[in-house]
Amino acid sequence: MTDFSSKIVIPTPAAMAQATEDGMLAKATKPWFEMFLLSLTGGAYIALGFLFFVTSQQGLGAPFPVGPAKVLGGVVFSVGLMLVVISGSDLFTGTTMTVMPLLSKRLGVGRFLGHWGVAIVGNFIGSVLVALLVLWAGTPSSNKSAWGLVVLNTTLAKVSLTWGHAFFLAVLANFAVCLAVWMANSGRSTADKILAIVGPIALFVASGFEHSVANMFMLPMGWLIKNFAPDTFWAGEAITKAGKTAADFDAITPGAIFFDNLIPVILGNIVGGAVFVGIYFWACYIRPAQRAKALEAAGAHAAR
């Protein structure tokens, strides 16, 4: 006979808010070296997701519909966040929600900022290591250089954004990413968490929003291809058919990568995650619960 007493119960939104705050506090108070190691894989796993995205976009020009191509890219990219969430890795865009325990005065400012710094550095190193492995594996030359051409075109488009566009696209990206993490926290199985992640991530990627950690892979990958791809890459059919040469991608420079994209995107991601999700849900659920508890304690004290 089925035992319905063991039925899984999805937590209420208020309980999820508290669970998210507790989870963010646990991440921010890990030993520094452990935090760094988990940040390395956070960057590496998002890089793998973007690698999958690039692979899915090869040759998807006319007459293939643009919308379905973008949605396909978003769905396959979501594998990156699935790996991050299930493995417990540390992703800077998600760590923006550590503002919740900060507001509850459970986390000091120094530890709060230190966690963000470690996450950014670790994510960047992990992302670039994957980019180097991809370059050394010769993947950019695959499918007659079509793979590398997708990276170059995407990188060029990203470094060509204005600061305003990059910032607001980043706000929207991390709004979606943190909502994906939030919903994944309600999952009670691996399948639940995966299903919760796919929709918001496909939404942000298909819409062309900007994610700082994803760009920590894509932009260095584009720069590496531009500067270190062999002559056989530039002689590939996809490159020659498109009429492209290395000179067409001269705008892809370290300065453009950092100052024209990563800085405004990191700032936008902070607003999208910390303000639109972390502070918002803290104000909706955590703060009222704290006030109610304080009032109850005051009433109990007065009754003595």
pLDDT digits (tens, 9 = 90+) for 198-244: 999 999 999 999 999 999 999 999 999 999 999 999 999 999 999 99
End-to-end CA distance of the chain: 50
Q: How many distinct structural domains can be found in the chain? A: 1
The per-residue pLDDT for 29 is 97
Instruction: Answer yes or no: is 179 within a domain.
Output: yes
What is the CB neighbour count within 10 angstroms for residue 13?
13
Domain range for 282 is: 10-297
Instruction: Answer yes or no: is 2 within a domain.
Output: no
Spatial separation of the C-alpha atoms in residues 199 and 78, rounded to whole Å: 8
Q: Is the pLDDT of residue 2 over 50?
A: no
**In this predicted model, which residue has the larger pLDDT, 202 or 294?**
202
Structure tokens at 109: 């400012």
Is residue 86 very low, low, confident or very high in pLDDT (cuts 50, 70, 90)? very high
Q: Residue 170: enclosing H or E segment and its boundaries?
A: helix 163-184
Rg (CA), the chain: 22
Instruction: Answer yes or no: is 1 within a domain.
Output: no
Instruction: Answer yes or no: is 304 within a domain.
Output: no
Instruction: Answer yes or no: is 4 within a domain.
Output: no
The per-residue pLDDT for 165 is 98
Stated pTM of the model: 0.93
Task: Calculate mean pLDDT across residues 163-191.
Answer: 95
Instruction: Answer yes or no: is 39 within a domain.
Output: yes
Is residue 1 very low, low, confident or very high in pLDDT (cuts 50, 70, 90)? very low
CATH number at residue 128: 1.20.1080.10
Instruction: Answer yes or no: is 303 within a domain.
Output: no
Q: Is the pLDDT of residue 174 over 80?
A: yes
